[in-house]
Each structure stands twice: as structure tokens, then as C-alpha cells.
Structure 1
Amino acid sequence: MKSRSESLIRLKKFNVDEKRRQVMQIEMMVADFERMASELDQQIEIEQTKTGISDVAHFAYSTFAKAALQRRDNLLASANDMRGKLETAQDQLAEALEDLKKVELLDQREHQRERDEQNKIEQAEFDEVARQRFRNR
């Protein structure tokens, strides 16, 4: 029984570790998207300053700035999508942690039951030794 519960605990721990890795990867992706969008904002600002045109609707607005705006918007949209995935991944991590705790508690109870049984056996042996000593007197 021990090896089975230990295997189950190992499996649950592996599952928790995998969910943690997924959460960390998604968090890094969101941070990267936001960092890249911020860098594009700076490039757009530099381009607008260089050309002197900040109105996107102006006919002479920089094509580089337009393309950078589009890339920035795409990055921000991707970051928002990833936040939804991050929330789902965090929920899955919480569930995996909960499952691990349940299995660990069950294992602890089983070990306690085994210790209690062993203590009962030892106490019965001590009682028998005491009875025999009492009889021999």
C-alpha cells in the first residue's frame, strides 16, 4: 500500500510542478509581450518626433509608425489573450495543489492508522508479558 500511495503522491507532485511551469511560462510571455509593446511605443514616439507628424490619419504619417502601431496592438491583444490562459492555468494549478494535499492527507491518515495498529500490537504484547509475570509470582 505504501508504494502505491507514494507513487500517487509523486504523480501529483509532478502534476503540480508541470502546472507551475505552465503558469511561469505564460507569465513570462505576457511580460515579454508587454515589454515589446512598450519598446514599440518608444519607437513610434521617436518616429513621430522625427517626422513631426503624430496624427495617424494624416496622409504623410510614417508607414513605419503605422506598422509599429499595428504590431503593438497585436502584441497587446496577444498579452490579453495570454492573461485569460494565465487565469485558466492558475486555476488548474490550484486544483492540482488541492489534489496533492488530499492525497498527502490520506497518506498521513494511513500511516497514522498503521502506527496505531502497531502500538496496539506492542501494547498487547506488553500486557501478555505482564500477565505471565503476574501468574509466575
Structure 2
Amino acid sequence: MKSRSESLIRLKKFNVDEKRRQVMQIEMMIADFERMAAELDQQIEIEQTKTGISDVAHFAYSTFAKAALQRRDNLLASANDMRSKLEAAQDQLAEALEDLKKVELLDQREHQREKEEQNKIEQAEFDEIARQRFRNR
């Protein structure tokens, strides 16, 4: 029984670690998308300063700035999409942690029962020794 519960605990811990890695990976992707979008914002601002045209609808607006705006918007949209995936991954992590906690509690209860049973056996042996000593007197 011990080996089964220990292997189940190891499996649950592995599952929790995997979910944590997924959450961290998604968080890093979101941070990267936001960082790249911020860099594009800076490049757009520099380009607008160079050309002196900041109105996107203007006929002479920089092609580079238009492309950078589109790319920035795409990055921000991707970051927002990843946020919903992040929430789902965090929920899965919470579920995995709950499962691990349940298995650990069950294992702890089993160990406690075994310990109590062992204590009862030892106490019965001590009681028997005491009875024999009492009879021998």
C-alpha cells in the first residue's frame, strides 16, 4: 500500500510541477509580447517624430509606422489571448494542487492509522508482559 500511495504522490507532484511550468511559460510569453509591443511603440514614436506626421489616416503617413502599428496590435491581441490561456492554466494548477493535497492527506491518515495500530500492538504486548510479571509474584 505504501508504494502505491508514494508513487501516486510522486505522480501528483509531477503533475503540479508540469502545470507550474506551463503557467510560467505562458506568463513569460505574455511578458515578451508586451515588451515587444512597447519596443514597437518606441519605434513608431521615433518614426512619427522623424516624419512629423502622427495622423495614421494621413496620406503620407510612414509605411514603416503603419506596419509597426499593425504588428504591435497583433502582439497585444496575442497577449490578450494568452491571458485567457493563463487563467485556464492557473485553474488547472489549482486543481492539481488540490489533488496533491488530497492524496497527501489520505497518505498521512493512513500512516497515522498504521502508527496507532502499531501502538495498540505494542501496548498489548506491554500489558501481557505486565500480567505475566504480576502472576509470577
TM-score using structure 1 length: 1.00
Structure 1 runs of 4+ with >4 Å offset: none
Q: CA deviation at 1:107?
A: 0.2
Report the Cα distance in structure 2 between the residues aligned to 1:136 and 1:34, rounded to whole angstroms. 85
Q: Deviations over 1:64-120 (max 9, x none)?
A: 000000000000000000000000000000000000000000000000000000000
Aligned partner of 2:90 in structure 1 is 90
Distance of 1:50 and 1:133 partners within structure 2: 104
User: Alignment identity in percent?
Assistant: 95
Q: Distance in 1 between matches of 2:46 and 2:28?
A: 27
Q: How far does the alpha carbon of each residue in 1:9-56 deviate from its partner, in whole angstroms, 9 at most, with x for none?
A: 000000000000000000000000000000000000000000000000
What is the Cα-based RMSD across aligned positions, in Å? 0.3
Structure 1: 5+ residue stretches without partners = none
Match for residue 128 of structure 2? 128
Partners of 1:42 and 1:85 in 2: CA distance: 28
Aligned residue pair count: 137
In the alignment, the residues of structure 2 paired with residue 3 and residue 59 of structure 1 have an alpha-carbon distance, to the nearest angstrom, of 73
Cross-structure match for 2:35 = 35
- Aligned partner of 2:74 in structure 1 is 74
Distance 1:84 1:118 in 2: 51
